[in-house]
Amino acid sequence: MPRSQSSASPASLEAAFAARAARVIACERCPELRAYCARIAMEKKREHRDADYWGRPVPAFGDPRARVLLVGLAPGAHGSNRTGRPFTGDASGEWLYRALYRAGFANQPTARDRGDGLELRDALVTAALRCAPPKNKPTPTQLLRCFPYLLDELSALESLRVVIGLGAIGWRAGASALRAAGYAFEGRPLFAHGAEALARGGSRPSVTLLASYHPSRQNTNTGVLSEVMLDAVFARASELVTPA
């Protein structure tokens, strides 16, 4: 997957990426969510009773030079809130990273914890909300408070070409971040699996917003989302960043 060259050095990109992650981890904009994540980290789940839970906001994970940005919903209480990495440690992540591996965006199909050796190529995974919300249902106010972090991440991707919204909330957050970053859509982006919306950024290259159903158990166990459907989204993303 050839990519455009960034104007910043790899070292400066990594430093900026680490600084953004540190700001996310230290965030206290939603005290109720910080308290909830900390309580879950103390109570734990029986099968993870020996685990050292992360219990804090979860920063983005992946390639700082990515052309593909994935936006999910929020950390799972016993997934990312336990491991400290997006889509890691639960069934949703198993589906997502297998698909990213098959599409060539990941070096391995498994994601267990932050030290498992997983690396992403040309992709960055983040979320609309960085703290695990009760019942996996963030409030509009919580999403609004967290939005600047997503906008900051999106704006830092100099070669961005594709944003993938994983679920309706991820789709809406991705669309809002593109608009806030100065992009304008051709028509109104409407969520449906496999939907596309083109966003033009003036002198900048256009960005395509892609939609996928969220790889949650609710969708994968019921057949609402299949591996073939998820693979099709990432195949389209790969096509969009690969020169003809």
Instruction: For residue 51, report the phi and psi dihedrals to the nearest 5 degrees.
Output: -80, 150
List the structure tokens of 200: 């033009």
Q: For the chain, what is the radius of gyration of the CA atoms?
A: 17
Q: Would residue 111 count as lying in a domain?
A: yes
Tell me, what CATH number does 225's domain have?
3.40.470.10
Nearest residue to 82 via CA among 48, 111, 110, 109: 48
> pLDDT tens, 89-99?
999 999 999 99
Q: Is the pLDDT reported for residue 243 higher than 80? A: no
Asked if residue 4 belongs to a domain, the reply is: no
Q: Is residue 2 part of a domain?
A: no
Q: Is residue 113 part of a domain?
A: yes
Q: What is the DSSP string of 141-171?
A: HHHHHHHHHHHHHHHH-TT--EEEEESHHHH
Alpha-carbon distances, residue 5 vs 82, 120, 206, 236, 242 (angstroms): 35, 18, 16, 22, 14
- Domain span including residue 124: 10-241
Burial of 111 by CB count in 10 Å (0-12 exposed, 13-18 middle, 19+ buried)? buried
Residue 1 lies in a domain: no
**Residue linked to tokens 């992709």:** 123
Domain annotation covers residue 3 = no
Cα separation of 57 and 35, whole Å? Answer: 11
- Classify strands 184-185 and 162-166 as parallel, antiparallel or unpaired: unpaired
5 domain residue, yes or no: no
- 125-162 pLDDT, tens digit per residue, is 999 999 999 999 999 999 999 999 999 999 999 999 99
What is the number of structural domains in the chain?
1
Question: For position 187, what pLDDT does the model report?
Answer: 87
pLDDT in tens, 37-60: 999 999 999 999 999 999 999 999
**pLDDT bracket for residue 1 (50, 70, 90):** low
How far apart, in whole angstroms, are the C-alpha atoms of residue 83 and residue 150? 20
Return the pLDDT at 214.
Answer: 98
pTM above 0.75, yes or no: yes
Evaluate whether 124 touches 61 at the Cβ level (below 8 Å): yes
